[in-house]
Amino acid sequence: MIDVRRLRADPDGVKAAIARRGEDVASLDRVLELDERQRRLAEERDAVRNEVKGISRSVGDLHKEGRGDEAAELQSRSRDLGDRADAIACEADGLASEIREILLQVPNTPAPDCPDGLTPEENPVIRQVGADLDSFPEHQRVPHWDIGEELGILDAATGAKLSGAMFVMYSGLGATLCRALCQYGLDRNADAYREMRPPTLVRTETMVSTGHLPRFEDDAYHLERDDLWAIPTAEVPLTSLFRDEVVDEVDLPLKFMAHTSCFRREAGSAGRDTRGLLRIHEFDKVELLAYATEEQSHKVHMDILDRAESAIADLGLTYRIVDLVTGDLGASSARTFDIEVYAPGADQWLEVSSVSWFGDYQARRANARYRPTGERGTQIVNTLNGSGLAVPRVWAGVVETYRQEDGSVRVPDVLKPYMRGVEVIEAGM
């Protein structure tokens, strides 16, 4: 959530930043109007309360002087003023709530160095690494959904029978490959990121803290009976680890990782390619997340990006890194780099990791603060996150890239320690 004080101090600058996303800024004008009214009411409330305090002192003096009748009249006025102060406070609180509800729908301001643009096609490619796209032989031009069916390691039909469209079931070494990717993603970051296993179901305020609610309610799974939400990513619970808490600056940055199942309804995906693992409702992912000061943020952002990139590079996949333009940023992000893997069978670039810096946008919603060393006050922390290893599309990239002429799939060297000695995935295994 953007800081209303920042909007108040630089309305044109904030509106210009939001407009870079292609967003309507009319709601910000409404916030400014409500904020001015709310501040006027707050001043009036404080003035009335001060008058009540003054009357209270006078009542005490009158009682000491034996002037009870005059004291009673003042007490009656004090009660009237108290009621007036309460009414003003209630109105001011209502305006503050309305301001918050509007700001919860307003996306983050893009970083100044974020490239301008409105569509994914405008995202600049920072670098591309790996094989030339035309160099893949025919046996690697088979899509993973066909490979999975041929080898008996991916069963979309049974997944749909059990749970509906866009759910899949991994079988045999297909399931083993999922687990191998997750453990691989955890092990390579254990040197600096504390492993957590947060709950998969969270409260509404936990989803609000990251910006998933209320803006993206239709994309989430809601258990209405318990008013709990299935997490779309471990970013959600990890961002709220220090909600309504204060940490010491000396402890920052704080770095966490978690392997969880993730759930996304993918509302509005009709007409998109939903074959195989390209877009599914449930998947496993290893998430990296950090709390930092603003000064630490760039270094932490690059660390998460380097780790996510090296995980893909060591798998031997062809990939590229793109710098998201302002119009393609997630609502909570100020700057995002995506890692995309080339899947030769599907002949598509598949986004496998988004590495984002959120500034204080999420932490302001979560009221997560830190106390600067040697200072009495507190400041809002910055949050950053990225997918250390998201299973479905990496699984697809591995299976297509490592398919051999006989139809089997060779296991990448870095995954062999996690595959129970299996080096080649063949039918029936």
Residue type, position 299, single letter: K
pLDDT confidence bin for 269, thresholds 50/70/90: low
Three-state SS at 126:
strand
- C-alpha 48/C-alpha 82 separation (Å) is 8
Mean pLDDT for the stretch of residues 371-400: 97
- 223 and 201 Cβ atoms separated by less than 8 Å: yes
- C-alpha 26/C-alpha 15 separation (Å) is 9
Handedness of CA 25, 29, 31, 32 (dihedral sign): positive
Residue 268 pLDDT > 60: no
pLDDT of amino acid 365: 96
Asked if omega into 110 is within 30° of 0 (cis), the reply is no
- 393 and 179 Cβ atoms separated by less than 8 Å: no
- C-alpha 317/C-alpha 108 separation (Å) is 33
pLDDT of amino acid 81: 86
pLDDT of amino acid 62: 66
- 77 and 48 Cβ atoms separated by less than 8 Å: no
DSSP character string of 358-381:
-TTHHHHHHT-EEE-TT-SS-EEP
Asked if omega into 253 is within 30° of 0 (cis), the reply is yes
H helices of 188-230, where? 204-210
- The pLDDT tens digits of the residues spanning 60-93 come to 766 667 766 776 777 777 888 889 999 999 999 9
Residue 386 pLDDT > 80: yes
And the tokens for 41?
Answer: 């009411």
- The pLDDT tens digits of the residues spanning 241-262 come to 999 999 999 999 999 999 999 9
Instruction: Tally Cβ neighbours within 10 Å of residue 230.
Output: 20
* 319-323 and 282-292 strand pairing: unpaired
- 341 and 311 Cβ atoms separated by less than 8 Å: no
Straight-line distance from the first to the last Cα atom of the chain, in angstroms, rounded to the nearest whole number: 50
Mean pLDDT for the stretch of residues 194-219: 96
Handedness of CA 246, 252, 253, 257 (dihedral sign): negative
Cβ neighbours of residue 113 closer than 8 Å, sequence gap 6 or more:
335
- C-alpha 146/C-alpha 345 separation (Å) is 9
- C-alpha 368/C-alpha 381 separation (Å) is 6
CA distances in angstroms from 75 to 58, 192, 206, listed in the order given:
10, 64, 46
- C-alpha 281/C-alpha 221 separation (Å) is 10
Mean pLDDT for the stretch of residues 193-218: 96
Q: Which residues pair with 357 in a beta bridge?
A: 335, 384
H or E stretch covering 97: helix 68-103
Handedness of CA 259, 263, 269, 270 (dihedral sign): positive
And the tokens for 251?
Answer: 């402890």
Residue 172 pLDDT > 60: yes
* 254-263 and 194-196 strand pairing: parallel
Instruction: Tally Cβ neighbours within 10 Å of residue 181.
Output: 26
And the tokens for 357?
Answer: 């810096």
- 334 and 114 Cβ atoms separated by less than 8 Å: yes
Going from the N-terminus, what domains does the chain have, and what CATH number goes with each? 4-103 (1.10.287.40), 120-425 (3.30.930.10)
- 415 and 406 Cβ atoms separated by less than 8 Å: no
- The pLDDT tens digits of the residues spanning 137-165 come to 999 999 999 999 999 999 999 999 999 99
- 245 and 369 Cβ atoms separated by less than 8 Å: yes
- The pLDDT tens digits of the residues spanning 281-329 come to 999 999 999 999 999 999 999 999 999 999 999 999 999 999 999 999 9
- C-alpha 429/C-alpha 397 separation (Å) is 20
- The pLDDT tens digits of the residues spanning 24-51 come to 999 999 999 999 999 999 999 999 988 8
pLDDT of amino acid 180: 98
Q: Strand ranges (DSSP E) for 217-274? A: 221-223, 228-230, 246-248, 254-263
- 331 and 107 Cβ atoms separated by less than 8 Å: yes
